[in-house]
Amino acid sequence: MSIKQTDLSKKLRQITLEAQGLIQEQAFGSGKAAVLSALEQLGYIQIDTLSVVTRAHHHTLWTRIPDYQPQWLDQLVTERHIFEYWFHAASYLPMQDFRFALPKMLSIKNGESRYYQADTQVMRNVYDKIRIDGPQKSRAFESLSKNNGSWWNWKPTKIALEQLFMQGDLMISARSGMEKVYDIRERVLPNTVNTTPPTALEYAEYLVRKYLRAYGFTTMKQMTHLQTGSVLRKNIETILNQMLEDNIIQKLVTPEMQIIYVLTDLFEKTDATHHPKLSLLSPFDNSIIHRERVKTCFDFDFRLECYTPQHKRKYGYFCLPILFGDVFIGRVDCKAHRKSGQFELIHLHVENRQIDMALWLTPFLNTLHRFVHFNQCQSIHVTQISPSELSDTIREFIEMRQMI
């Protein structure tokens, strides 16, 4: 099936934003139950240690759940509804998906994927200490390395700890802030969880359904991102063909001859009228983590520049994309100065001038104020706005709002 580019782009934007929970105000409901619902829909939430503003995993959930509280994520870990592992990066995943992490765990344990080269005896010592003494933070092993001699040398111990985690012998049972608490798998994993490794076909089906559920549409390139092997691709094609036959998905061809697969119920759904929602997105938000998809679908070129040398940055160290309705109107480089209680807009970049600023400025300020408070700040300081001709208007509006 082919469709005009403008119509298709608009439709795909609506489909993916609805699947991502970025159209309705409470797409996943409220409270702690909404956190689990969002995680099961999105498939994963990336964990990041950067704290320029509130960390990515909390930010991503706050964007979708208006009453979100960070402790809910920790509680879901301790209640064994979610677990930590590696997706394309360190992530929280629904416990129901545990068995689909087993192929990676087993490949590391069998030496097929050599992420680490831990000493076997050190691994036994680390595992036995946790098995006998109970859950441990990594700092416990750092202390041992200082007091107990060569068996507990910190660097080999840290490598062993990470390998035991990556191969599934240890799991994260809790966190203290960002510090992990490790325990043996048998004490963390609920006994109701299926631990049968998926077949190659089951794993392919998991990937297909995961991407379709999270984004509404997908491509072969996206589903095989960081995945290798012709067998996987063949199995994905088998699953797609069956879903096409069952009318679960539609196969579309863009004017650029790109093949995409879209959920039939979302594609045929009549677009509901929603008041445009404004979102300040984390750079690690699920909706924008695939940069090529964002460029193709939204015509928005986004790169996180915190890893780019300062003199090469175009927009700033830690920019948050600003989504209004289904259009990215710009981005803002910002920083939460928590000790002083000030939230700094280092540089607000307004890039889309086709949308009347009167439409998005009030929603932007409303969302910004909520985010400022979520970051435990009380006031806003504006350093720079581009283009400069908008600076006075936006500054005055922000200052006026702060006086209310």
What's the angle, vertex CA 331, arms to CA 314 and CA 289, rounded to 5?
90
Reported as a pLDDT band with limits 50, 70 and 90, residue 181 is: very high
Helix and strand tally (H, E) in the chain? Answer: 16, 15
22-77 pLDDT, tens digit per residue, is 998 899 999 999 999 999 999 999 999 899 999 999 999 999 999 999 999 999 99
Q: Is the residue at 293 inside a domain?
A: no
Q: Is the residue at 353 inside a domain?
A: yes
Q: Do residues 321 and 243 both lie within one domain? A: no
pLDDT at 2: 46
| Confidence (pTM) | 0.93
Reported as a pLDDT band with limits 50, 70 and 90, residue 111 is: confident
Domain that holds residue 364: 303-403
CA 158 to chain centre: 26
Q: Do residues 315 and 395 both lie within one domain? A: yes
Q: Do residues 83 and 204 both lie within one domain? A: yes
DSSP-derived 3-state class of residue 393: helix
Cβ atoms of 81 and 39 within 8 Å: the answer is no
Q: Do residues 254 and 315 both lie within one domain? A: no
Alpha helices in 96-153 (DSSP H): 102-109, 120-133, 138-147
Cβ atoms of 78 and 173 within 8 Å: the answer is yes
Q: Do residues 91 and 139 both lie within one domain? A: no
pLDDT at 178: 87
Q: Do residues 309 and 232 both lie within one domain? A: no
pLDDT at 146: 56
Burial bucket for residue 129 (CB in 10 Å: 0-12, 13-18, 19+): middle
Higher-confidence residue of 180 and 152: namely 180
Q: Is the residue at 291 inside a domain?
A: no
Q: Do residues 61 and 137 both lie within one domain? A: no
Residue 273 DSSP symbol = P
Q: Do residues 307 and 397 both lie within one domain? A: yes
